[in-house]
Amino acid sequence: MIQVRFMSYKKKILLLCFLICFLVFFSLELSAAGKKHVIIINPGHGGKDKGIELTKDVTEKDITLAVALAMRKELTTGNNIEFVLMRDSDKTVDLEERRKIIEEIKPDFLISLHVNGGFGKNASGFEIYYPEFGEDIIKEEKTVKDKKQKKNKLQNDSLTMAKIIQENLNVLFPRKGRGVRKADMPLTDGLLVPSVVVEMSFATNTEDKKKLLSRETQKDVAEALVKSCKKFFR
Ligand SMILES: [Zn+2]
């Protein structure tokens, strides 16, 4: 009789432990799912708009799409980030359409992918741009102080992500970084979304071109970008 009671007590404890573990796990899953940060990945060009030419058969639109798809593949489940691809096939999406997608989704961040070109055959390496935000676009805040705060947040978030990406790409391409710069961005002009443009490297440089065309490097770049997103939203 005592033995039976002892066993059932042990079983109860085990059951209780199991229930607690289950509840903790379930609530963690729920809170992670509830706090998903949406990032739009914008593979530059597409369809009729080919971008810069790398070879007779491969243009910028192919490289940006390959990296975006590799990023989606790289982002495993069970984290607080969700990627939305502006396009996941070779199709034309014009500037207005892209802006509309951003306005509809209202992402927490936007990353645009491009390939650089020009400045002579010696120009090489990656470059990251981030936009300048004006206080005049912040309509939902009433006071000057609130407008300023919101503007600063957009600006700081963009710069922070740019620097994280720079750090991670530096590991991949030592001494190849051309820096982080502020630039006008027609895609996000007037929109309240923190963003960066990553010019992955130069199609006009022989060594860079070889890297851009390599599946291995495309995957490495995607990995570095996913790592950066995870760090930013940690
Ligand atoms: Zn481009």
Domain that residue 172 falls in: 37-232
220 alpha carbon – ligand 1 mean position (Å): 20
**Model confidence pLDDT, tens digit, residues 104-150:** 999 999 999 999 999 889 999 999 999 999 877 788 788 888 889 99
Same domain, 52 and 29: no
Same domain, 25 and 59: no
Distance from the Cα of residue 7 to its chain's centroid = 54
Q: How far apart are the C-alpha atoms of 158 and 144, rounded to whole Å?
A: 21
Q: What is the pTM of this model?
A: 0.84
The pLDDT of residue 27 = 53
Residue 194 alpha carbon to ligand 1 centre in Å:
19
Query: Does residue 196 share a domain with residue 153?
Result: yes
| Cα gap 71→69, rounded to integer Å | 5
Average pLDDT over residues 188-217: 96
Distance 53 CA to ligand 1 centre (A): 10
Q: Is the pLDDT of residue 21 over 50?
A: no
Q: How far is the CA of 65 from the centre of ligand 1 (A)?
A: 12
**Same structural domain for residues 111 and 129?**
yes
* 104/118 Cα distance (integer angstroms): 35
Name the domain count of the chain.
Answer: 2
Using CA atoms, how far apart are residues 165 and 169, in angstroms rounded to an integer?
6
Per-residue pLDDT at 31 exceeds 80: no
* Distance in angstroms (rounded) separating the CA atoms of residues 99 and 102: 5
Q: State the Cα–Cα distance between residues 135 and 97, nearest whole angstrom.
A: 25
Q: What are phi and psi of 52, to 5 degrees?
A: -75, 145
Residue 100 tokens, joined:
């509309």
Domain of residue 215, CATH code:
3.40.630.40
Give yes or no for residue 6 having a pLDDT over 60.
no
| Distance from residue 128's CA to the centre of ligand 1 (Å) | 13
Average pLDDT, the chain: 89
Tell whether 50 and 77 lie within a shared domain. yes
Residues 195, 82: Cα–Cα separation, whole Å:
16
What is the Cα–Cα distance from 128 to 163, expressed in whole angstroms? 9
**Whether the Cβ atoms of residue 53 and residue 44 lie closer than 8 Å to each other:** no
**Residues 11, 46: one domain?**
no
Q: How confident is the model at residue 30 (pLDDT cuts 50, 70, 90)?
A: very low
Contact (Cβ atoms closer than 8 angstroms) between residue 110 and residue 39: yes
Rounded Cα distance between 12 and 113, Å, is: 56
* Most confident region among 25-39, 52-66, 120-134 by mean pLDDT: 52-66
User: Both 118 and 18 in a single domain?
Assistant: no
Query: Which amino acid would we find at residue 40?
Result: I
Are residues 175 and 221 part of one domain?
A: yes
Q: What is the DSSP letter of 122?
A: T
Residues 174-202: tens digit of each pLDDT: 888 899 999 999 999 999 999 999 999 99
